[in-house]
Chains A and B, each alone.
Chain A
Amino acid sequence: MSVATATPQATSGKTTYLNHDKSIRSWLLTLDHKRIGLLYLSTIVVVFLAAGILALLVRIELLAPGRTIVDAQTYNQFFSLHGILMVFLVIVPSVPAILGNFIMPLHIGAIDVAFPRLNLASYYIFMVGGVLVVIAMVVGQIDTGWTFYTPYSSRLGAPVIFMTLAVFIAGFSSILTGMNFIVTIHKMRAPGLTWNRLPLFVWSIYATSIVQVLATPVIGITMLLLLLEKTLGIGIFDPAMGGDPILFQHFFWFYSHPAVYIMILPAFGIISELMGVFSRQEVMGYKFVALSSVAIAFLGFLVWGHHMFVSGQSTVSSVVFSLITYLIGIPTGVKVINWVGTMYKGSVSLKTPMLYALSFLFLFTIGGLTGVMLGVLGVDVHLHDTYFVVAHFHYVMMGGTIVALIGGLYYWWPKITGKLYNETLGRIGCLLVFVGFNTTFFTQFVLGSQGMPRRYYDYAEKYADLHALSTYGSWILAVGLFVALYTFIQSLMRGAPAPANPWGGASLEWTHTTSPPSPHNFEEQPIVTHGPYDYHHFYAGDGQSVEAELASRSEA
């Protein structure tokens, strides 16, 4: 992260968390949750770029049947590494580690998280995990897919153990961050900030933290069992030694399904904030949206078997897992209705963050509905392990989490950097991402229902047109993402100084501190007297424009 220069108007020469100490050391050893959030941001952006380039290579290989640019072995490594990097080092940590770190303490009016040193330790543990992943990648030629299914992975031996160890270590960072956030949210809320006044972003981070703490140890246990199997020759997962590969799948999904909620719940939180602020309206069904995040977090532990309908697990288990899957689908669906309903009688502003939020609603609705389709037992048998599944989870993970993350970054960018970004460029980027994403992945629904299996290096001629279209889409998507990246870099270089509250938000990070905030977040302890989306109460009928009102507040 480059260090911002002083922003004269907004902060009028005030000390901010960016300029109070500019040494490298002060960044690398910082205990400030805001700077730690930015450390995560810069790391995750680099990994995202690497994994994104791998995705582009995968798509280029699939441009035409047969060999296009690489051989089968290399292709198998490309898609495996793309999956491993994106899931474990980008999407799982992204929103909690970047925006959760930066925004959550500001949202609750706290000076920092409860355990700042632990927070810094989490970052370095994450880095160790990340470096180990890269070493395993380079040395080990991992080609197992991100799911590491045994016995294929047990045959590869050491590199897979190394990779799971890396994932295990990165997982510890997840557990520690989760604990830190739970304590922070319980103990450090500002006076007056009751649970009913908590911004929905904080609720979702809270629910996510619970899942992080409870689910992540399971991947550690799985790793330990793999290690014992390998070193002591105890048959656990490898049938050659009397183990059971389905047991591995149970273990794997017992973590990885809840991990899906670690990935998507924080995105729900961002969308709630964006829909509220850019509609200047109370988020519809606040209590429902807040508590359903917690409900989804718990129910998320009971549905892992829906990844295994054709694995050979018992038919009865499949039936039960299918039924519970719907229990999650319903509150998720009602959430979508609440977000759309938030615009009702609102004052809707189509700024870039809102465009990303609306894109999220479009894409996530497709991802969610196709998820329900996959939960239908008789239909899943046909669709399982085809491109339909690939399209579904990209709609949820990329169209959901990543789109929400980018929307959130645009939204909080003025707060984080103290700079405004170019609105036109931001909107163009969003449009390209939206068009490119749908071209890339909607075609894959059709490919999948037509029977195209996933993880195929080569494919039949009849699938060629749709594969080519999907690849062209990936180029548009890539251009859109680079436009977004350029917008951010341009803003850092030449962006106009941001006012304290450019959007007219009613939560503490906008109303009670400068852009960027001071090193200690708030000049004095904020006292909360209203809800996070209470725009009426806050700007009650004095005829003044919100901006003028805010300008006078930040000067006062």
Chain B
Amino acid sequence: MGDKGTFWLPESASTVSGDVDSLFYLVTWISVVIFVLVVAAMVYFMMRYRRHHAGQVGAPAHESKWFEMSTVVVSTILVLIVFTWGFRVYLKLNIAPPGAYEIQVTASQWKWDYTYPDGTVYAGDLHVPADKPVRLVMNSIDVLHSFFVPQFRVKQDVLPNRYSSVWFEATRADTFDVYCTEYCGNQHSGMLGQVIAHPQEEFEEWLASAGGGGLSPEEYGERLFGQNNCNTCHSIDGTRLVGPTMQGLFGSQRQLVSGESVEADENYLLSSIVAPAAQVVEGYPPAMPPSYGSLPQDQLDALVAYIKSVQ
């Protein structure tokens, strides 16, 4: 991604990003001109009026009221132009066109869940139709998060006690990055995802198959393991990350911090997902957030089936 972007900005891929970019470059160039003038004057004065002998004192310089006033007037006019333009772009960013396709977004530590109008819940990546305005109605179940797609130039904080919304229209079918930009704890930088924009028919086909129909529980669980960012803390190859690896976990004896020892059976796996603080394994911090408890039962079943299969 970003290979078609410029030095300053990543590639532009939404209907509003062109407006944002024009404004960005306008302000950047005005700033560059002002900066160059200031530094040029500074360097010129520095050389021109350099002290040559120790006792030299500056010559009287008469202040020009006209100069002082003109700097105030010119800068006021400039900022009013920039303000007005910024205001118009902001309104455009904030007001979704009527009839936009609505998707519910639920943010939690540290994943994104998307609920489509037909009730399908899909975690991880956001699949949307390209060339069609999409409005996200967002809510968090724990702390603050923020939904940011650099290529679309849109960003909106996601709050636990009220809905916030953001809209965009992808100008082509492609894949774009989603970042969480409001600090949300340990795995803040792992709270990533992608926007995958499909042509309309392809999007409809995707939506019809998104619920995991046609996949075995293990395959569905494997997909969910990635979509829910489980893999940022739990490896499947024995590597030690923040949490224990899944490799060979099923059926093993687990030494808990409480001093007990339990066998990692299906019930242990399920309870560790929905109530991670209950049975913390020795040697690892109790860092897993409780937010996974809100996954639908069929998804939990699939995850347990997948973890069982990782040997």
Interface residues of A (CB under 8 A from B): 71-73, 76, 143-145, 149, 151-152, 155, 239-240, 242-246, 279-282, 284-285, 288, 309-312, 315, 318-319, 322-323, 326, 329-330, 333-334, 336-337, 340-341, 343-350, 358, 361-362, 365-366, 369-370, 372-373, 376-382, 384-386, 446, 449-451, 453-460, 462, 535-536, 539, 544-549
**Which of B40-48, B97-105, B218-226, B263-271 is near enough to bind chain A?**
B40-48
Residue in B55, B72, B159, B180 with the greatest tally of chain A CB atoms within 10 Å: B55
Return chain B residues, CB-CB under 8 Å to A344. Answer: 45, 49, 61
When the two chains form their complex, are residues B83 and A376 in contact, meaning their CB atoms are under 8 A apart? yes
| A243, A245, A347, A350: the one within 8 Å of B57 (CB) | A347
When the two chains form their complex, are residues B150 and A151 in contact, meaning their CB atoms are under 8 A apart? no
Q: A348-B50, A379-B27 known; A451 and B150 CB under 8 Å?
A: yes
A514 to B130, CA, bound (A): 75
A449 to B153, CA, bound (A): 10
**Which of B31-39, B115-123, B248-256 is near enough to bind chain A?**
B31-39
When the two chains form their complex, are residues B8 and A446 in contact, meaning their CB atoms are under 8 A apart? yes
When the two chains form their complex, are residues A73 and B83 in contact, meaning their CB atoms are under 8 A apart? no
When the two chains form their complex, are residues A348 and B160 in contact, meaning their CB atoms are under 8 A apart? no
B155 on interface, CB distance cutoff 8 Å: yes
| A337, A350, A450, A462: the one within 8 Å of B38 (CB) | A337
Interchain residue pairs with CB less than 8 A apart (30): A72-B242, A144-B183, A240-B160, A310-B156, A312-B164, A322-B83, A326-B83, A329-B75, A330-B76, A334-B68, A348-B51, A361-B42, A362-B39, A362-B42, A372-B27, A373-B31, A378-B86, A379-B27, A379-B89, A381-B20, A381-B93, A381-B154, A382-B150, A455-B188, A456-B188, A535-B58, A545-B53, A545-B55, A546-B55, A547-B54
Q: Name which residue of chain B comes closest to A373, CB basis.
A: B27
Return chain A residues, CB-CB under 8 Å to B161. Answer: 239, 242-245
When the two chains form their complex, are residues A334 and B75 in contact, meaning their CB atoms are under 8 A apart? yes
When the two chains form their complex, are residues A340 and B49 in contact, meaning their CB atoms are under 8 A apart? no
Q: A347-B49, A457-B188 known; A382 and B76 CB under 8 Å?
A: no
| B23, B45, B76: the one within 8 Å of A346 (CB) | B45
Q: How far is the CB of B46 from chain A (nearest CB, A)?
A: 6
A428 to B155, CA, bound (A): 43
When the two chains form their complex, are residues A378 and B242 in contact, meaning their CB atoms are under 8 A apart? no
Q: How far is the CB of A446 from chain B (nearest CB, A)?
A: 7
Q: A347-B58, A350-B46 known; A381 and B153 CB under 8 Å?
A: yes
Return chain A residues, CB-CB under 8 Å to B5. Answer: 450
Return chain A residues, CB-CB under 8 Å to B92. Answer: 378
A362 to B35, CA, bound (A): 8
Q: How far is the CB of B8 from chain A (nearest CB, A)?
A: 5
A361 to B63, CA, bound (A): 20
B206 on interface, CB distance cutoff 8 Å: no
When the two chains form their complex, are residues A453 and B179 in contact, meaning their CB atoms are under 8 A apart? yes
**Known contacts A377-B83, A536-B57, then 7 further A-B pairs from the complex at CB < 8 Å, ordered by chain A residue:** A279-B49, A318-B90, A346-B49, A347-B51, A361-B38, A372-B27, A453-B148
When the two chains form their complex, are residues A453 and B180 in contact, meaning their CB atoms are under 8 A apart? yes
When the two chains form their complex, are residues A319 and B49 in contact, meaning their CB atoms are under 8 A apart? no
When the two chains form their complex, are residues A378 and B85 in contact, meaning their CB atoms are under 8 A apart? yes
When the two chains form their complex, are residues A372 and B31 in contact, meaning their CB atoms are under 8 A apart? yes
Q: How far is the CB of A226 from chain B (nearest CB, A)?
A: 15
Q: Name which residue of chain B comes closest to A65, CB basis.
A: B189
Residue in B27, B60, B89, B153 with the greatest tally of chain A CB atoms within 10 Å: B27
Q: A318-B90, A362-B39, A382-B20 known; A345 and B61 CB under 8 Å?
A: yes
B216 on interface, CB distance cutoff 8 Å: no
Which 7 residue pairs across A and B have the least CB separation, nearest first?
Answer: A378-B89, A451-B150, A545-B55, A239-B161, A377-B90, A281-B58, A343-B45
Q: A280-B56, A334-B72 known; A348 and B46 CB under 8 Å?
A: yes
Interface residues of B (CB under 8 A from A): 1-2, 5, 7-10, 19-20, 23-24, 27-28, 31, 34-35, 38-39, 41-42, 45-46, 49-51, 53-61, 63, 68, 71-72, 75-76, 79-80, 82-83, 85-94, 142-144, 146, 148, 150-151, 153-157, 159-162, 164, 177, 179-190, 242, 285, 287
When the two chains form their complex, are residues B83 and A323 in contact, meaning their CB atoms are under 8 A apart? yes
When the two chains form their complex, are residues B157 and A312 in contact, meaning their CB atoms are under 8 A apart? yes
A456 to B89, CA, bound (A): 28
When the two chains form their complex, are residues A446 and B7 in contact, meaning their CB atoms are under 8 A apart? yes
The number of A-B residue pairs with CB atoms under 8 Å apart is: 259
Return chain B residues, CB-CB under 8 Å to A369. Answer: 31, 34-35
When the two chains form their complex, are residues B54 and A337 in contact, meaning their CB atoms are under 8 A apart? no
A449 to B58, CA, bound (A): 43
Q: How far is the CB of B212 from chain A (nearest CB, A)?
A: 28
| B27, B49, B181, B186: the one within 8 Å of A73 (CB) | B186
When the two chains form their complex, are residues B181 and A385 in contact, meaning their CB atoms are under 8 A apart? yes
When the two chains form their complex, are residues B179 and A376 in contact, meaning their CB atoms are under 8 A apart? no
A334 to B76, CA, bound (A): 11
Return chain A residues, CB-CB under 8 Å to B179. Answer: 451, 453
| A340, A450, A545: the one within 8 Å of B2 (CB) | A450
Residue in A73, A318, A349, A453 with the greatest tally of chain B CB atoms within 10 Å: A453
Return chain A residues, CB-CB under 8 Å to B148. Answer: 385, 451, 453
Return chain B residues, CB-CB under 8 Å to A456. Answer: 188-189
Q: Name which residue of chain B comes closest to A538, CB basis.
A: B57
When the two chains form their complex, are residues A152 and B57 in contact, meaning their CB atoms are under 8 A apart? no
When the two chains form their complex, are residues A449 and B38 in contact, meaning their CB atoms are under 8 A apart? no
Q: Name which residue of chain B comes closest to A385, CB basis.
A: B181
A245 to B75, CA, bound (A): 36
| A288, A347, A362: the one within 8 Å of B56 (CB) | A347
Return chain A residues, CB-CB under 8 Å to B58. Answer: 279-282, 345-347, 535-536
Q: How far is the CB of B249 from chain A (nearest CB, A)?
A: 21
When the two chains form their complex, are residues A365 and B35 in contact, meaning their CB atoms are under 8 A apart? yes
A460 to B60, CA, bound (A): 57
Return chain A residues, CB-CB under 8 Å to B177. Answer: 451, 460
Q: Name which residue of chain B comes closest to A459, CB basis.
A: B189
A372 to B183, CA, bound (A): 24
Return chain B residues, CB-CB under 8 Å to A244. Answer: 161
A34 to B23, CA, bound (A): 50
Q: How far is the CB of B41 from chain A (nearest CB, A)?
A: 5
When the two chains form their complex, are residues B42 and A457 in contact, meaning their CB atoms are under 8 A apart? no
Residue in A337, A370, A462 with the greatest tally of chain B CB atoms within 10 Å: A337
Residue in A315, A380, A381 with the greatest tally of chain B CB atoms within 10 Å: A381
When the two chains form their complex, are residues A458 and B55 in contact, meaning their CB atoms are under 8 A apart? no
Q: A345-B58, A349-B51 known; A358 and B42 CB under 8 Å?
A: yes
Return chain A residues, CB-CB under 8 Å to B154. Answer: 381-382
When the two chains form their complex, are residues B72 and A372 in contact, meaning their CB atoms are under 8 A apart? no
When the two chains form their complex, are residues A343 and B42 in contact, meaning their CB atoms are under 8 A apart? yes
A532 to B55, CA, bound (A): 18
Q: Name which residue of chain A comes closest to B192, CB basis.
A: A460
Q: Name which residue of chain B comes closest to A361, CB basis.
A: B42
A111 to B94, CA, bound (A): 59
Q: Name which residue of chain B comes closest to A323, CB basis.
A: B83
Return chain B residues, CB-CB under 8 Å to A449. Answer: 8-9, 24
Q: How far is the CB of B272 from chain A (nearest CB, A)?
A: 20
A350 to B87, CA, bound (A): 44
Return chain B residues, CB-CB under 8 Å to A549. Answer: 55
Q: How far is the CB of A410 from chain B (nearest CB, A)?
A: 17
A454 to B46, CA, bound (A): 38
When the two chains form their complex, are residues B146 and A310 in contact, meaning their CB atoms are under 8 A apart? yes
When the two chains form their complex, are residues A73 and B285 in contact, meaning their CB atoms are under 8 A apart? yes
Q: A369-B31, A536-B60, A548-B55 known; A381 and B39 CB under 8 Å?
A: no
| B55, B89, B142: the one within 8 Å of A544 (CB) | B55
When the two chains form their complex, are residues B143 and A152 in contact, meaning their CB atoms are under 8 A apart? yes
When the two chains form their complex, are residues B39 and A333 in contact, meaning their CB atoms are under 8 A apart? no
When the two chains form their complex, are residues A378 and B46 in contact, meaning their CB atoms are under 8 A apart? no
Q: How far is the CB of A554 from chain B (nearest CB, A)?
A: 16
When the two chains form their complex, are residues B79 and A539 in contact, meaning their CB atoms are under 8 A apart? no
